[in-house]
Amino acid sequence: MKFLSAAALSAAILLGSHVSALALDRGGVMTYGRYTDSLFLDPVLNDANVDIWVMNNIYETLINPTDDGLGLQPGLATEWTLNETGDAVTLKLREGVKFSDGTPMTAEDVVWSLDRARNPENGIWNFLLASVDAVTSPDPQTIELKLKYPDPTILSALSVFNSAVMPKAAFEAMPGDTDKAKAEEFAKKPIGTGPFMLESWDRGATMKLVKNPNYWDQGEDGQPLPYLDGLTFEIIPDDATRILKLQSGDIEGAEFIPFARVAELKADPNINMELFPGTRVWDVIINVRPELDGKPNPLSDEKVRQAMNYAANKDALVQVVTYGVGTPLSSFMSSTTPMHSGDGPLFPYDLEKAKSLMAESGFPDGFKTSILTIAGNQDDLGITTALQQMWKEIGIDLEIRQVDNASRTEQYRNGTFEMRTGGWTNDIADASQITSYFAYSPTIDALHSGWKNEEVDKLFEASQKEMDTAKRAEQFARIQEIFNATGPTIPLYETPYPVALGKNVNGFIQIPLGNNIFRETWLAK
């Protein structure tokens, strides 16, 4: 017994020394090539992934999503409890946390930040905290959330960017009469508790972040994080140029590598071609309203949609469009979403079945229809031209209409489109967000498709109050079963985030929600 524990101890020491022998290097500035610039660095009022996916380097939340995007880990709160009835959360704040300007983070800052985030007048993310009735701080290290009703998503919601903690006094000292005006000033030189702080921002060109000297966490070497002295985002919109700059050593990382170049960069000995698991799913969204433009809509026929699904060869699409990088979908939500269910690919290619379904449908002779795609988007064009060929086999004549994004969104929101391509990524590590948009009709008419299923709507409402995890998983399983079989989409595939890094880059991660995390990134010398 004694011997065993001694062996375990020496093994642990060995392992420990092994880790420190791995000798990470500190210092240096990493330049990361982005396809477009951020717009507005306010956690509450922003509305775009270009902000959301980098803001965690400046601002932090009480709870953080884990690296696999499925669970939660401590952030500015070290521990938390959700009471049994699910209507109160108590969080313990981390001690000694300072903002990048050196002022200590207080419970007052936390209460104010959460109140600002949940204010229905502020931005588009307040729905995430809609269940919160009151935020209080009984003592300087404790935060209490009283909820209006049991909310199984509340802890995940506290890990979403909009509930990040901001310094109340510094924010309120900004010029301007309204929250919006103050936020616009504050976001020019944001102050947060994150590992980096904004040094300068040359719009459309470079955003320079430097190490926050007051950061609370320590690295593996016992010294304060982050390892990097600085982090520069360089805006390089052209994919080919972004890759060229990485290959020539001007930059250390490049995001959004086109699928077509992934294999080539994997073979490049000077580059680490990473495919970080994402929550990104790609679909064709179908308008299923019984009538369109005063005429009967063949796409409202369930058999027609099933035929189209069986006739769409997803394996071929994965090869043609994603060059093998993607995976056919097994549910409408990505396999990285908590409570995802479904094991095999949906509607595996079966032309005979598709033909017989068409024959049984109300439109055995086929019909003409159209699909909206983004002009100039190669993925969209690849998907739709392939579908055009595949659906010709079952008598469907598909017209491809290329429009710009804003035009497509308008037709989408008006419900006047026939079909369109669509992509989605989760903002929260929970199945509720994607389900709310895809399947729950009150949100946006199930992707503006006009699809409605009473059972799904009821199950979703129940799932939003169900505190029993197993029961909640069952509810989502049933929702997925119904939607996957009869829903208004052609589920295509899910894809990872393709990021190319220099060989000297270590410890960088993009989590499934899309956040780029440079907290523990270091450059080997």
Partner 1 sequence: MHLASFIVRRLLQLIPTLLFILIVVFVLVRLLPGDPASAILGDRALDADVERINRELGLDRSLPVQFAVFAKSVATGNLGNSIHLKLPVAELIAARLPITILLTVMAALIAVLFAVPLAFVAALRRGRAADSVVRGAFQVGLSMPVFYLGLILLTVFGARLGWFPVGGYGDGFLDHLYHLFLPALTLALSLSAILMRNLRAAIIGVIDAEYVQFARAKGLRPRLILSRHVLRNALISTVALFGLSIGTLLGGAVITETVFAIPGAGRLMVDSIYGRDYPVVQGLTIALAVLVSLTFLLTDLVQAWLDPRVAR
Long-range interactions of 244-252: CB distance < 8 A, separation 24+: 245/33, 246/33, 246/271, 246/500, 246/502, 247/271, 249/502, 250/31, 251/31, 251/32, 251/33, 251/502, 252/30, 252/31, 252/32, 252/501, 252/502, 252/504, 252/505, 252/523
Cis peptide before 488 (omega within 30 of 0): no
Q: Which lies closer to partner 1 via its Cβ, residue 122 or residue 212?
A: 122
Stretch that binds partner 1, among 61-69, 91-99, 198-206, 482-490 (CB under 8 A): 198-206
Question: Is the distance from CB of 221 to CB of 20 less than 8 angstroms?
Answer: yes
Q: Which of 88, 444, 482, 509 binds partner 1 (CB under 8 A)?
A: 444
Q: Which lies closer to partner 1 via its Cβ, residue 29 or residue 444?
A: 444
- 377 lies in the site for partner 1, by CB under 8 A: no
DSSP 172: H
- 231 lies in the site for partner 1, by CB under 8 A: no
Return the residues of window 472-501 that contact partner 1 according to CB under 8 A.
Answer: none
Cα-based angle 461, 515, 420 (whole degrees, multiple of 5) = 60
Other CB atoms within a 10 A radius of the CB of residue 27 amount to: 12
Query: What torsion, rounded to 10 degrees, do the Cα atoms 321, 326, 331, 335 define?
Result: -160
Q: Which of 433, 482, 506, 381 is nearest to 69 (CA)?
A: 433
Q: How far is the CB of 37 from partner 1 (least distance, A)?
A: 8
Q: Which of 68, 202, 291, 455 binds partner 1 (CB under 8 A)?
A: 202
Q: Which lies closer to partner 1 via its Cβ, residue 368 or residue 413?
A: 413
Stretch that binds partner 1, among 69-77, 196-204, 257-265, 392-400 (CB under 8 A): 196-204
DSSP 317: H
* 3-state SS class at 390: helix
| Cα gap 143→110, rounded to integer Å | 8
- 40 lies in the site for partner 1, by CB under 8 A: yes
Q: Which lies closer to partner 1 via its Cβ, residue 53 or residue 215?
A: 53
Place of tokens 């270091």: 522
Question: Is the distance from CB of 63 to CB of 80 less than 8 angstroms?
Answer: yes
- 370 lies in the site for partner 1, by CB under 8 A: no
* 3-state SS class at 92: strand
Stretch that binds partner 1, among 152-160, 202-210, 274-282, 488-496 (CB under 8 A): 202-210
Three-state SS sequence of 324-380: CCCEECCCCCCCCCCCCCCCCCCCCCCHHHHHHHHHHCCCCCCEEEEEEEECCCHHH
In the numeric block, which tokens belong to residue 516? 């780029």
Q: How far is the CB of 335 from partner 1 (least distance, A)?
A: 21
Name the strand (E) or helix (H) holding 318. helix 314-322
Q: Which of 60, 179, 234, 274 binds partner 1 (CB under 8 A)?
A: 234
Q: Which lies closer to partner 1 via its Cβ, residue 166 or residue 358?
A: 166
Q: Which lies closer to partner 1 via its Cβ, residue 218 or residue 405?
A: 405
Query: What torsion, rounded to 10 degrees, do the Cα atoms 429, 452, 283, 475 define?
Result: 30
Question: Is the distance from CB of 150 to CB of 462 less than 8 angstroms?
Answer: no
Q: Please report which residue ranges of 351-509 form alpha helices under DSSP H.
A: 351-360, 378-392, 405-414, 432-438, 441-448, 454-463, 469-486
Q: Which lies closer to partner 1 via its Cβ, residue 402 or residue 443?
A: 443
Q: How far is the CB of 282 from partner 1 (least distance, A)?
A: 13
Return the residues of window 244-283 that contact partner 1 according to CB under 8 A.
Answer: 244-245, 247-248, 250
Return the residues of window 407-426 that contact partner 1 according to CB under 8 A.
Answer: 407-413, 422
Q: Which of 25, 115, 144, 184 binds partner 1 (CB under 8 A)?
A: 184
Stretch that binds partner 1, among 67-75, 200-208, 214-222, 489-497 (CB under 8 A): 200-208
Q: How far is the CB of 422 from partner 1 (least distance, A)?
A: 7
Q: Which of 16, 138, 176, 237 binds partner 1 (CB under 8 A)?
A: 237
* 3-state SS class at 29: strand
| Cα gap 441→289, rounded to integer Å | 13
* Sequence-separated (6 or more) residues with CB below 8 Å from residue 32: 231, 232, 233, 234, 251, 252, 253, 254, 255, 516, 518
Rg of the chain over CA atoms, in angstroms? Answer: 25
Stretch that binds partner 1, among 78-86, 203-211, 214-222, 384-392 (CB under 8 A): 203-211
Q: How far is the CB of 508 from partner 1 (least distance, A)?
A: 21
In the numeric block, which tokens belong to residue 88? 């109160």
Q: Which lies closer to partner 1 via its Cβ, residue 72 or residue 444?
A: 444
Q: How far is the CB of 188 from partner 1 (least distance, A)?
A: 8
- 241 lies in the site for partner 1, by CB under 8 A: yes
- 137 lies in the site for partner 1, by CB under 8 A: no
Stretch that binds partner 1, among 40-48, 96-104, 273-281, 362-370 (CB under 8 A): 40-48
Q: Which lies closer to partner 1 via its Cβ, residue 5 or residue 414?
A: 414
Q: How far is the CB of 376 from partner 1 (least distance, A)?
A: 10
Q: How far is the CB of 383 from partner 1 (least distance, A)?
A: 16
Q: Which of 23, 124, 316, 485 binds partner 1 (CB under 8 A)?
A: 124
Name the site residues for partner 1 (rule: CB under 8 A).
Answer: 36, 39-40, 47-48, 124, 180, 184, 187, 202-205, 234-238, 240-242, 244-245, 247-248, 250, 403-413, 422, 437, 443-444
